[in-house]
Amino acid sequence: MSLINKTIIDDVLALPSSARVELVELLMNSLVAPDKEVDGLWATEAESRIDAYEKGLLKTVSLDTVLSKYVKYRLVGSEPCSQEPGGELSSCKLQLY
């Protein structure tokens, strides 16, 4: 950190979070040169997935199901919780922590 001017750091930290995110993206992009071949492969894969979704060939998963794997919940009150077959929590009051 000694090579970076403290004024620059203070100025950056004073920016709104959206501007800091933009700055981080610019800095990250400056460290990794774009690879047109990889970008092309990802574009092809994305189009393939969109096509499969639109044709009904992909199984979809609800956001609640995805988040339930990564977000911790705690029960609020004394109501029992039950978990649906798809992994969704229902019939209880949950709070993030």
Question: Is residue 18 domain-shared with residue 37, that is, in the same domain?
Answer: yes
Residues 37 and 67 in one domain: no
Residue 19 belongs to a domain: yes
pLDDT tens digits for range 38-89:
999 999 999 999 999 999 999 898 888 887 777 765 555 555 556 666 656 5
- Assigned domain for 1 exists: no
**Cα dihedral 21/26/28/33 (nearest 10):** 150
Asked whether residue 42 falls in the same domain as residue 78, the answer is: no
The reply to whether 44 falls in a domain is: yes
- Domains identified in the chain, total number: 2
Please state, in angstroms and rounded to a whole number, the distance separating the CA atoms of residues 82 and 59: 23
Contact 6, 14 (CB under 8 A): no
pLDDT at 97 over 60: no
Give the model confidence (pLDDT) of 5-36 as tens digits: 888 999 999 999 999 999 999 998 888 888 89
On whether both 11 and 46 belong to a single domain, the answer is yes
Residue span of the structural domain in which 28 resides: 6-54
Whole-model pTM?
Answer: 0.40
